[in-house]
Amino acid sequence: MNPVAKAIKIIKDETRALESERVELSHALGRHLAEDIIADTDLPPFDRSQMDGYALRAAETTTVPAKLRIVGESAAGRGWHNELNPGEAVRIMTGAPVPVGADSVQQVELTRELDGGSEVEILEPVSLGRSIVKRGSEIKGGETVLRAGEKINAGAVAVLASFGYAQLSVGKRPRVAILATGTELVAVDQKPGPDQIRDSNNFSIAAYATPAGATVERLPLAGDDIAQLKRQIAGAAERCDIIVTSGGVSVGRYDFTKTVLQELGAEIFFERVALRPGKPTVFARLPNGTLVFGLPGNPVSVSVTFNLFARVAILAMQGAAETELEAATAVLSKTVKPARDRDSYLPARLSTNENAQLLAEPLKWGGSSDFVGFVRATALIIIPQATGVVEAGTRVGVVRLPE
């Protein structure tokens, strides 16, 4: 059996990034950059006032109250572009350019206008440089602002807009086909018979794959018909970059997924992982390059193995800099008893205590089929194999589940 870390490394090594594509900025949210973003100007592009008040020379406010003649007004988008002389002040607004000759801004609350607005009385001294953001103090023109591989969030959209990226290069979204197997499954809108259950895996996998950047196609249920399974996988491979199946990967009489992959000429990189839940996980590549993940059938195993393994390939195909779940350490709030022969990834809910410590609360669940118990999980507690009972208060590794 492959350790989890080795399985992830194999996936990274065998996954190739797709070509990039150009998109409009309005369609870039959630995509991964395929180019470095370069500032085309200083930011701010001029000395900028941080507040409403008066632009002046700090040295003229050493003795207060100090009276200065108001010679103009600088507003955002409408600056005063003359030179300030000694004894003068300019009324200035937040975000407006600071005029040449001024070296400080006194906030309006510490001033008083006189003589119908022709003079201002400065009531408190101003320190040199007060309330001014200097040109280029945030970034200089020509510097790299964002790097290829970063995910574009709302903050990044603002950066892209500020530097004129109306269009940009991003990683192409991988096309992912999802296929559930097993005669026990019926469609979600049907009432199950005595030995049947509704299909949930097709929907949960799609719910994880879509925010990871995939374009998802849900295939019809395949049952335990080996010929039908083979046709569906072969057909999906013609139009998709990744196929994710659930069920049929163990050693039972009706577990046909590996058999079908072998008949289709797939190269199987691994078929078991030292993991609980999710030991019978398959990773393969079909002759045309389509990657295949054969996940276990139990819903919790599906969630764990998809996020540990298939999600990595989806992100890697987009050129993402970060492909694995975010790792952290937390204090265990309850005692847990893991499997000894495999790494255990146990569902948990994260919180912080009054000392700002990250806490991991193991959730009560009945095993890999208990998706109701798993629904409130925000993370997975990692307990390495050959570890005995882990007591409450122990610091453990965790990975955060995607929102």
Helices (H), 252-331: 257-263, 299-305, 311-317
Q: Do 83 and 142 lie in a common domain?
A: no
Q: What pLDDT is attached to residue 48? A: 97
Q: Which residues of 276-311 are buried (b: 16+ CB within 10 A; e: fewer)?
A: bbbbbbbbbbbeeebbbbbbbbbbbbbbbbbbbbbb
Last residue in a domain, options 283, 317, 351: 317
Q: Do 232 and 125 lie in a common domain?
A: no
Residue carrying the six token digits 């280029």: 136
H or E stretch covering 6? helix 4-14
H or E stretch covering 144? strand 144-146
C-alpha–C-alpha distance, residues 354 and 392, integer Å: 17
3-state secondary structure (DSSP) of residue 109: helix
Determine the straight-line distance between the first and last CA of the chain, rounded to whole angstroms: 30
Q: Do 301 and 187 lie in a common domain?
A: yes
The answer to whether residue 59 is domain-embedded is yes
Residues linked to residue 169 through DSSP beta bridges, in sequence order:
22
Q: What pLDDT is attached to residue 181? A: 86
**Do the beta carbons of residue 104 and residue 131 sit within 8 Å?**
yes
The answer to whether residue 26 is domain-embedded is yes
Q: Do 245 and 353 lie in a common domain?
A: no
**Do the beta carbons of residue 236 and residue 177 sit within 8 Å?**
yes
C-alpha–C-alpha distance, residues 241 and 334, integer Å: 42
Last residue in a domain, options 258, 284, 317: 317
Residue carrying the six token digits 């903050």: 155
Q: What pLDDT is attached to residue 254? A: 47
Q: Do 26 and 153 lie in a common domain?
A: yes
C-alpha–C-alpha distance, residues 135 and 221, integer Å: 61
Q: Do 231 and 292 lie in a common domain?
A: yes
Q: Which domain holds residue 111?
A: 48-133
State the CATH number of the domain containing residue 27.
Answer: 3.90.105.10
The answer to whether residue 322 is domain-embedded is no
Q: Do 176 and 163 lie in a common domain?
A: no
Q: Do 128 and 145 lie in a common domain?
A: no
Q: Do 146 and 262 lie in a common domain?
A: no
Residue carrying the six token digits 């919790």: 300
The answer to whether residue 95 is domain-embedded is yes
Last residue in a domain, options 317, 351, 372: 317
Phi, psi of 203 (to 5 degrees): -80, -40
Mean pLDDT per 10-residue segment, the chain (403 residues): 95 98 97 97 95 97 96 96 96 97 97 94 96 96 97 96 96 97 82 84 94 95 84 96 87 71 96 93 97 93 96 98 97 89 92 92 71 86 90 95 89
In the chain, the number of structural domains is 4
Does the CA dihedral 122-128-133-136 come out positive or negative? positive
State the CATH number of the domain containing residue 338.
Answer: 2.40.340.10
Q: What pLDDT is attached to residue 135? A: 96
3-state secondary structure (DSSP) of residue 108: helix
Q: Do 117 and 254 lie in a common domain?
A: no
Q: Do 240 and 357 lie in a common domain?
A: no
Q: Do 189 and 283 lie in a common domain?
A: yes
